[in-house]
Amino acid sequence: MSPPLLQVRDLRVHFPVRTGGVLFADYTPLKAVDGVSFDLAAGETLGIVGESGCGKSTLGRAVLQLLPPTSGAVAWLGTDVDLADKAALKARRRDMQVVFQDPLASLDPRMTAGAIIAEPLRNYHPELSSPDIKARVARMMEQVGLLPAMLNRYPHEFSGGQCQRIGIARAMILKPKLVVCDEPVSALDVSIRAQVINLLMDLQRELQLSMLFISHDLAVVRHISHRVMVLYLGKMMELADRDSLYRAPRHPYTRALMTAVPIPDPDQERAKPRAVTFGDLPSPLSPPSGCVFRTRCPKATAICAAAAPPLEAVAAGQLVACHHWRT
Amino acid sequence: MMAVNLSSPHGAALEAAGEVAGRSLWQDAWRRLRANRAAVVSLIILAIIAVASIVGPYLLPWTYDEIDWDHIEALPPDFALGHYFGTDSLGRDLLARTLFGGRISLTVGILATFVALFIGVAVGAIAGFVGGKVDQVLMRFVDLMYSVPLTFFVIILMVLFGRNFILMFLAIGAVEWLTMARIVRGQTLALRGKEFIEAARASGGSTTAIILRHIVPNVLGVVMVYVTLTIPQVILLESFLSFLGLGVQEPMTSWGMLINDGAAELEINPRTLIIPAVFMTVTLFCFNFLGDGLRDALDPKDR
Ligand code: SF4
């Protein structure tokens, strides 16, 4: 069997954060991503969920090599990449693209939509003539639902949804194999979200893309993902097929997230059982000992403080990191 | 707002794109600049002054260094003799001297400023974008240069190379790019964290490409304003250097020197001050309007 498109093994990204010291700074590592492993097959969408600050975006950037990982490996089609090798890095970036959260901020205010979408082409195909580039940009704009006649407009002249379409067009024009979507719809109006999500799904089918879909919106993730990973303070809590995860979440944190999603019917909403989590996210600078979730976990016991729970396979394709997943 | 649904007649839309030619930021900027009346008028006046300074001295009956031996006193304007603006206290034609001075002042002002612009933007953008050690080294060098007094620097240059017109560019350039570099670095630091820079990196842009394609166009608006402030500064600096003996020497002249001489005779002969001063003031005004116009033209949000 051919190796999966993307293999992430024990990935860690730690940022040194200055936590004191007057003359000589004291640094504490902020473990934004701490020991994450997963595989991604061609054409598959992996949803990554968690609260803000749990390391979702950092994970996406590390996979894209936009941030150097502290340790661990990101293998692409079975081969590891050498970050120091600029040419190899550039060649790999051709196949992985990103769609950002803030549609307007991710577009250069002084470039026209056409120039923005054409930029990856100019980087990777300097041999293309201007009419060729223009034709491909126009076709791409069609594909994402923008009028090609708008190619001379500047980002601020577009609505948020249209800006995101420009961002998507830029990510797709090289026909990449992997696209990391970093909260692509959370900055958009609710009415436009569905359109952008459907556009992403259509493009995925057409281009046979793999996607990492980062979001805190469980409903959106459920709609688009094949598998879902739940992150908490940089650690994997649960990784499972979408259906198993949404039908039978094992981890207390996943359950808490699920009950946090409101049900449209107020009677059902009031009646639903709550796996309440108390308190705020602990500081990622000093995560709790043992299981990082124990400060908010309704099922926490002594063992949770003593030892970090390992990731256990509880069912086919379902991994959970919890001492008490059985209950 | 949704302008398009996916099922729009694709062929028609593609054709529409064929008719719309792609435009670059520069073409758009030029179009917007032409719509700005103050900037266009300034550009025309500057062109007239520049052309007059270049060809004017050849068309006048007197040259800038020719002394009218019959009138070695400040002569009021006299059309019969060909002294349209009169003469200075040594009997030299004031119009010829003003136009000739314009040549020197404009050349120095524009060339030195552009040298400063080029070096300043390059150093500032690289320091700000690359950061780390490169930033440290470049900016400490800028600090070092700041701390050397100009007069001292000029004296060293003169001792080493003797009097030389070219040295003046060197001295002015060495001073003026420093502030430019700091301004550009600050702007670059603010830009570096923006998502569109990360997006550019993700779409395969090299550092050079990102600096040229994203950083420079985005800092240019601010830089343009500073350029228009620098040109007058350079023109004044030139008269100071000439006074120290590094710039142009009599009988050659520049606006700065003419104003200097004129100021000494203000009470007996205000004309010798007013005429070059008017030329210089108009020029500087025009540069300011032009700079403002350029800044607005380079900002697509400004319509
Ligand atoms: S290991 Fe303990 S604290 Fe952590 S999630 Fe499971 S029950 Fe809760």
Q: State the Cα–Cα distance between residues B225 and B231, nearest whole angstrom.
A: 10
Chain A nearest CA to B295, separation (Å): 12
Domains of chain B: 44-62+83-298 (1.10.3720.10)
Q: State the Cα–Cα distance between residues A284 and B68, nearest whole angstrom.
A: 86
A119, A145, A149 member nearest B200 (Cβ): A119
* Residue A38 falls inside a structural domain: yes
Burial class (CB in 10 A: 0-12, 13-18, 19+), B81: middle
pLDDT recorded at residue A253: 85
How close are the terminal C-alpha atoms of chain A, in Å? 37
* Residue A128 falls inside a structural domain: no
pLDDT recorded at residue A84: 64
Q: Which atom of ligand 1 is nearest to the CA of A304?
A: 2
Tell me which residue range forms the domain holding A303.
Answer: 6-95+176-320
Which DSSP state fits A149?
A: G
Binary contact (B16, A147; C-beta < 8 A): yes
In degrees and rounded to multiples of 5, residue A96 shows phi and psi of: -125, 130
Quick count: other Cβ atoms within 10 Å of Cβ A213?
A: 28
* Residue A126 falls inside a structural domain: no
Taking each helix axis from N to C terminus, what angle separates B25-34 and B37-59, rounded to the nearest 10 degrees? 80
Burial class (CB in 10 A: 0-12, 13-18, 19+), B130: middle
Q: Please give the distance, rounded to the nearest whole angstrom, from the Cα atom of residue A323 to the centre of ligand 1.
A: 6
pLDDT recorded at residue B277: 84
E strands present in chain A: 6-20, 26-40, 45-49, 71-76, 79-80, 96-99, 178-182, 210-215, 227-232, 235-241, 311-315, 318-321
For residue A225, the domain's CATH number is 3.40.50.300
Residues 6+ apart with CB under 8 A from A314: A250, A320, A325
Do residues B92 and B57 touch, judged by C-beta distance below 8 A? no
Q: Which atom of ligand 1 is nearest to the CA of A305?
A: 3
B203, B217, B301 member nearest A119 (Cβ): B203
Do residues A7 and A75 touch, judged by C-beta distance below 8 A? yes
**Residues β-bridged to residue A27:** A18
Residues 6+ apart with CB under 8 A from A33: A11, A12, A13, A55, A58, A59, A62, A69, A234
Q: Please give the distance, rounded to the nearest whole angstrom, from the Cα atom of residue A297 to the centre of ligand 1.
A: 6
B195, B204, B213 member nearest A124 (Cβ): B204
> Nearest CA to A304 among A287, A291, A295, A288?
A291
Question: pTM above the 0.90 mark?
Answer: no
* Residue A107 falls inside a structural domain: no
pLDDT recorded at residue B3: 42
Chain A nearest CA to B119, separation (Å): 23
Taking each helix axis from N to C terminus, what angle separates B271-297 and B25-34, rounded to the nearest 10 degrees? 130
pLDDT recorded at residue B6: 40
Domain count of the fold of chain A:
1
How close are the terminal C-alpha atoms of chain B, in Å? 21
Characterize the bridge pairing of strands A235-241 and A71-76.
unpaired
* Residue A257 falls inside a structural domain: yes
* Residue A147 falls inside a structural domain: no
Which DSSP state fits B83?
A: B
Quick count: other Cβ atoms within 10 Å of Cβ A13?
A: 23
Going from the C-alpha of A151 to that of each of A137, A144, A236, B18, B20, the distances in angstroms are 9, 13, 42, 11, 8
* Residue A102 falls inside a structural domain: no
Per-residue pLDDT of chain A (327 residues; tens, 9 = 90+): 466 788 888 888 888 877 766 666 677 778 888 888 888 888 888 999 888 777 888 888 888 888 888 888 888 877 776 666 777 777 778 888 888 888 888 888 888 888 889 888 888 888 888 888 888 888 888 888 888 888 888 888 888 888 888 989 998 888 888 898 888 888 788 888 888 888 888 888 888 888 899 988 888 888 888 899 988 888 888 888 888 888 888 888 888 888 776 666 667 666 665 555 556 777 777 788 888 888 888 888 888 888 888 888 887 778 888 888 777
pLDDT recorded at residue A264: 65
* Residue A153 falls inside a structural domain: no
Binary contact (B204, A66; C-beta < 8 A): no
